[in-house]
């Protein structure tokens, strides 16, 4: 049976591009076309991703509009600030999915404050679990995949916002992410000898670039003037994210109400699993899958809702959400080509 659509991946030698290719190789409706990159153009794909053996002998081309044109779907797995100008030169009838941050924010001032570069405009946001978002993605020709931390924190808090249990003010979020979330650049703080056996905080004090995207999602979920204190940590693992998110609740809110809100919000969601009472998400349970594990309860002494959420930063946090959104845009079943089961141990 012939493939229905062709797909190109720009930035194919990075972690996000490699994850997109891993998933696309198992997609029954996609034929993989051009593989492009910047400084690694001319190399074999297998030099960067030996796990992708069906594509290992393919030569990586230079990322140009000409090499990407002629495909039904184009994934841009490029550094922040690199997608905007390139996207303007791509065919308007192609489905272009930006796995970077360039087209996520709807507020130019927020972009300029956190990214310090020209604003490229907003595209439909590729987190289908947000209320009303599937309709915006269906038939779209431009999609902005979410940030990995943003997807985790948003999915942790969304049911509480939708059901009015919290108002989005005084939210705190802390957690750990795998080193792949920092990209593939050879920097000292990501060396194995630096990360093994310990954790370290980064982006402390309200400077992390995912903060404006989190606030934007909270606003879309009904929050008025939301605020968040976000402290991410680098965990000694290659992939995965686990976030603990808390927010104040009214004294009348019970743990039972919180649980019902989460069960109601995620009932029927193919990738989000609310765990049984007293069972808390563990990052290993979702590795390699597009699944999300979440649970929430009440801390009565602090008067705060506590939600814990985990996902794989490269799959559901980036490439998986991109392909999930692609399926919706192309009119395919949303779960096509996406793994539901994690890898263990």
299-312 per-position pLDDT tens digit: 999 999 999 999 99
11 with 117, same domain: the answer is: yes
309 is catalytic: no
Query: In terms of domains, do 59 and 204 share one?
Result: no
Same domain, 124 and 157: no
| Domain of residue 99, CATH code | 3.40.50.720
Residues 179 and 136 in one domain: no
Q: Would strands 241-248 and 304-311 be described as parallel, antiparallel, or unpaired?
A: antiparallel
Instruction: Give the pLDDT confidence score for residue 271 in this predicted structure.
Output: 98
Residue 338 belongs to some domain of the structure: no
Kindly report, residue by residue over 40-57, the tens digit of the pLDDT.
Answer: 999 999 999 999 999 999
Does position 150 have pLDDT exceeding 80, yes or no?
yes
Identify the domain containing residue 264 by its residue range: 149-311
DSSP 44: B
Q: Does the residue 341 lie in any domain?
A: no
Do the domain assignments include residue 344? no
Q: Please give the mean pLDDT across all residues of the chain.
A: 95
Q: Which CATH number covers residue 223?
A: 3.30.360.10
Q: Are residues 215 and 244 in the same domain?
A: yes
- Chain centroid to CA 60: 25
- 3-class SS of residue 34: strand
Does residue 297 share a domain with residue 215? yes
Render pLDDT for 163-216 as a digit per residue (tens, 0 to 9). 999 999 999 999 999 987 766 666 666 666 677 888 999 999 999 999 999 999
Mean pLDDT within 2-28: 95
Give the pLDDT confidence score for residue 189 in this predicted structure. Answer: 64
**Quick one: pLDDT at residue 196?**
80
Please check whether residues 123 and 197 belong to one and the same domain: no
Same domain, 136 and 60: yes
Could you tell me whether strands 142-144 and 61-62 are parallel, antiparallel, or unpaired per DSSP bridges?
Answer: unpaired
Q: What percent of the chain has pLDDT over 90?
A: 91
Same domain flag for 200 and 290: yes
Is the pLDDT reported for residue 330 higher than 50? yes
Predicted model pTM: 0.95
- Digit-coded pLDDT (tens) for 61-107: 999 999 999 999 999 999 988 999 999 999 999 999 999 999 999 99
Task: Report the domain count for the chain.
Answer: 2
**Residue 345 falls inside a structural domain:** no
Is there a single domain that holds both residue 169 and residue 118? no
Q: Which residue has the tokens 């490699």?
A: 18
- pLDDT tier at 3, thresholds 50, 70, 90: low
Look at residue 21 and tell me if it is in a domain: yes
Q: Dihedral sign, CA of 91, 92, 94, 99? A: positive
Residue 2: pLDDT band by 50, 70, 90 thresholds?
low
pLDDT digits (tens, 9 = 90+) for 274-298: 999 999 999 999 999 999 999 999 9
Task: Determine the Cα–Cα distance for residues 127 and 182; give it in Å rounded to an integer.
Answer: 21
Beta-carbon count within 10 A of 187 CB: 10
pLDDT in tens, 226-248: 999 999 999 999 999 999 999 99
Cα–chain-centroid distance for residue 1? 31
CA distance 288 to 233: 21
Q: What is the pLDDT of residue 52?
A: 98
- Taking the mean position of all CA atoms in its chain, how far away is CA 20? 12
- 292 in Cβ contact with 311 (< 8 Å): yes
* Vertex 62: Cα angle to 101 and 120 (nearest 5): 25
| pLDDT for the residue 344 | 84
In DSSP notation, 246-287 reads EEE--TT--HHHHHHHHHHHHTT-SSEEEPPTT----GGGGT
């Amino acid at each position: 049976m012939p493939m229905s659509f062709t797909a190109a991946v720009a930035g194919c030698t990075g972690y996000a591009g490699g994850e997109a290719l891993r998933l696309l190789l198992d997609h029954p409706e996609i034929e993989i076309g051009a593989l492009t990159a910047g400084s690694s153009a001319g190399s074999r794909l297998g030099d960067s991703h030996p796990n992708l053996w069906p594509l290992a002998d393919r030569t990586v081309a230079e990322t140009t509009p000409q090499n990407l044109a002629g495909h039904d779907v184009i994934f841009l797995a490029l550094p922040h600030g690199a997608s905007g100008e390139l996207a303007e030169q791509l065919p308007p009838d192609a489905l272009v999915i930006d796995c970077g941050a360039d087209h996520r924010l709807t507020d130019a001032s927020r972009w300029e404050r956190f990214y310090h570069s020209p604003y490229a405009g907003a595209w439909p946001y590729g987190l289908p679990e947000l209320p009303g978002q599937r309709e915006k993605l269906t038939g779209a020709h431009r999609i902005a995949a979410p940030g990995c931390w943003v997807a985790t924190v948003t999915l942790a808090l969304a049911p509480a916002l939708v059901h009015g249990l919290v108002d989005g003010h005084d939210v705190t979020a802390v957690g750990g992410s795998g080193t792949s979330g920092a990209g593939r650049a050879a920097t000292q703080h990501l060396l194995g000898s630096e990360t093994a056996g310990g954790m370290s905080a980064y982006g402390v004090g309200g400077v992390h670039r995912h903060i404006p995207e989190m606030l934007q999602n909270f606003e879309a979920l009904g929050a008025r003037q939301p605020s968040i204190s976000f402290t991410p940590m680098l965990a000694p693992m290659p992939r995965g994210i686990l976030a603990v998110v808390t927010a104040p609740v009214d004294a009348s809110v019970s743990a039972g109400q919180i649980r019902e809100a989460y069960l109601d919000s995620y009932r029927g969601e193919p990738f989000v699993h609310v765990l049984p009472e007293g069972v808390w998400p563990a990052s290993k349970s979702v590795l390699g899958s597009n699944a999300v594990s979440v649970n929430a309860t009440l801390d009565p002494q602090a008067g705060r809702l506590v939600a814990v959420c985990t996902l794989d930063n490269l799959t559901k946090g980036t490439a998986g959400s991109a392909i999930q959104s692609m399926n919706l845009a192309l009119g395919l079943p949303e779960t096509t080509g996406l793994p539901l089961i994690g890898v263990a141990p």
